[in-house]
Structure 1
Amino acid sequence: MSVAVAHAVSVAVRPKKPRRLGVRVLWVAITAVVIGATMSAHIKWDRLADFPASLVRYLRLMFLPPDWASFGQALTATIESVEMAWLGTVLGIVVSFPLSFLAASGVAPRWVRLPMRGLFGLLRAVPEVVIAIIILSVTGLTPFTGALAIGIGSIGTLGKWGYESIENAERGPMVAALTCGASPVQVMRWGLWPTVAPEVFAFWLYRFEINVRASAVLGLIGAGGIGSMLVQNVQYRNWSTVGMLFIVVVVVTMMIDGVSGRIRTKIVTGRWRG
C-alpha cells in the first residue's frame, strides 16, 4: 500500500516538460540572419578551393626570405605608429578622466550624468577610421590626424570604464572622509581615487594596447605609420618588404602586450606576473 502511495505522489509532483518554443524560434532567427548575411556577401565559393595554395604562395613570397634591408624603415614606421597610439591614448585619458566623474552615479546629478553617458556611447559607436576621415579635411593626412582620431575614439571607452569603476568603488573610505569634515573634492581625492586608481590605471594601459593596433589600421588611409608603408608596398607588390613589415609589427606588438600585461598585473594584484 505504501509503495502505491509513494508512486502516486511521485506522479503527482512530476514537473512539466519545459516548453522550448522561444529558444527554437531564436535559433531559427539566428540561422536565417547568418544565411542571409552569407548570401548577400557574394562570396565566390569556387575560389575557396584555391585559397590554401594562394596563401602558401604569398607566404613564400613574403618570408622566403623577407627584405632585411628594409628592417630599419619598417622599425621607424612601427615606432611612428606606437607614438601615434601613445599620443592618442594620453589625449583620451586627459579628456575622459574628469568626464568620468560627471557620468558616475552618486557624484553627478542625473541631468548631467545621462547626457555624458550618451556622449560616451556615441563615441564608442564610431570607429576610429571614420573619425579620421571626418577630421582629415581639417588636419590633413598626418600622424597627428591618426593620434587625434585615436584620442577621440578612446574617450568613449575610457569614460565608460572610468565611471563604472567609480560606481563600483567601496564607499567606506568616502564615508570616513565625510565624517572627518572633508569637502566633496577632498572626498574624491582621498576617499574615492585611491580605491579606483589601480583599476583605472590598468584600463589605461589596456586601451593603449588596443590603440597600437588601431594606429596600424589608420595608416591604411594615409595617416602615417606602419599602415601607410604597408599599403604602398602591397600596391607595388613588394612582397618581401611586406613580410618584413609583418615581422616587425608582430614582434613590437607582442613586446608591448607583454610589458603592459605585466605592469597591469603589478598594479592590480601588487605582484609581478611570472
Structure 2
Amino acid sequence: MTTVLTPPPAITVIPDRPRRPWLVASWIIVTAIVVLAFWSIDINWARLADLPAEIVRYTFLMFGSPNWEKLPEALWQTWRSIEMAWVGTILGILLATPISLLAARGFGPAWLRALLRGLFSLIRAVPEIIIAIVILSVTGLTPFTGALALAINGIGTLGKWGYEAVEAVPSGPIEAARAAGGGTLQVLRWGVWPQVEPAFWSFWLYRFEINVRSSAVLGLIGVGGIGDMLTSYTQYREWSTVGVLLIVVVAVTMLIDAVSGAIRRRIMEGARARVLS
C-alpha cells in the first residue's frame, strides 16, 4: 500500500498594520487648528443666504451693459501690465539663473547651497505686493516698482526650479566634462546646460504667465497698469466700466496662457511627427 504524503496547507501570515502614532497626532493637531481658525473668524452667517442674489446682481451691473468707451484705455493699461511682467521676468531670469546653478549639489560649497536655498524659501514666502510696498519708498509708485517686485519674487521660484532641474540631469555628460579636465564653468556649460536648457525655457515662460496675473494685483497699490485702473473704478462703483476691465483682463490672460503653454509644450515635447499619405 502506497502512502501519499500531502504537503501541509500553506499558512498566510498577515502582518500587523504598522502603527504611526505621530501621524495620527499630526492629523489631530492640524484638524484642531483648522476648526479653531474657522470658528474664530467673525462671519455674519445670516448674510450667506443673500450671497447668491448679490452675485447675480453685481454680475448684471458689470456685464449687463458694459461701458465699451473705456476699452482703448483698458487695452493700454493692460499693455503696461504686460510690460511690467516682461521686465520683471527678464530681471528675475538674469538674477536667478546664475545663483540657481550655484545652489545645485555638486557645483557650490555646502554653506553657499544652504544660504541660497534658504534665500529662495524666504523670498517665496513673501507675496509680491509686500515686496512692492517695501521698495516703493525708494522707487515711488511707478511701473518699475512692480517690475522689481516681480523680479525679486521670481528669484525664489526660478532659483528653486533651476537647482532642482540641474540636480535631476543624468551624470554621464557631467562626468565626461570633468574627465576631460573641465572646470566648474566648463562642466556647467557643456555637461549641464545642454540638458537643462529646455526645462529652463519652460520655467521662464511659466514665470512670465505668473507675472502677467500678478501685475494686475500689484496695480492695487498704485504702481500702474490695469490693476490700478480696476481699483479706481471699483472704488467709485462704476460697475459698467469694471465689467469691461474684467473682460479685457480675462481675455488677455487666457490668450497669453494659451500661447505660452503651446510654446512650452513645443520646447519640452518637440514638434509632432506628421503622417505623410
Alignment partner, residue 32 of structure 1: 32
Q: Residues 156, 18 of structure 1: CA spacing in aligned structure 2 closer, same or farther, 3 A cutoff?
A: closer
TM-score normalised to structure 1 length: 0.91
Give 1:199 shift. Answer: 0.5
1:135-169 deviation digits (Å, cap 9, x = unpaired): 11111111111010010110111111111111111
- Following the alignment from structure 1 to structure 2, what is the Cα–Cα distance between the partners of residues 34 and 111? 37
Give 1:15 shift. Answer: 3.6
Q: Number of paired residues?
A: 268
1:134 equivalenced with 2:112 (yes/no): no
Alignment partner, residue 99 of structure 1: 99
Alignment partner, residue 108 of structure 1: 108
Alignment partner, residue 85 of structure 1: 85
Q: Residues 71, 187 of structure 1: CA spacing in aligned structure 2 closer, same or farther, 3 A cutoff?
A: same
Q: Residues 170, 146 of structure 1: CA spacing in aligned structure 2 closer, same or farther, 3 A cutoff?
A: same
SS at match of 1:223: coil
1:237 equivalenced with 2:237 (yes/no): yes
Which runs of structure 1 show a deviation greater than 6 angstroms over 4 or more consecutive aligned residues?
none
Name the stretch that deviates more: 246-255 or 117-126: 117-126
Q: Residues 32, 170 of structure 1: CA spacing in aligned structure 2 closer, same or farther, 3 A cutoff?
A: same
Q: CA RMSD in A?
A: 2.1
Unaligned runs of 5+ in 2: none
TM-score normalised to structure 2 length: 0.90
User: How do 1:51-70 and structure 2 match up within 5 A?
Assistant: 51-70=51-70
- Following the alignment from structure 1 to structure 2, what is the Cα–Cα distance between the partners of residues 249 and 63? 14
Give 1:119 shift. Answer: 1.3
- Following the alignment from structure 1 to structure 2, what is the Cα–Cα distance between the partners of residues 150 and 80? 14
User: How do 1:176-187 and structure 2 match up within 5 A?
Assistant: 176-187=176-187
* 2:187 maps to amino acid: V
Alignment partner, residue 168 of structure 1: 168
- Given that 2:66 and 2:240 are in contact with CA atoms closer than 8 Å, whether structure 1 keeps it comes out as yes
- Given that 1:265 and 1:272 are in contact with CA atoms closer than 8 Å, whether structure 2 keeps it comes out as no
Q: Residues 147, 20 of structure 1: CA spacing in aligned structure 2 closer, same or farther, 3 A cutoff?
A: same
Q: Residues 139, 106 of structure 1: CA spacing in aligned structure 2 closer, same or farther, 3 A cutoff?
A: same
Identity between Structure 1 and Structure 2 (%):
57
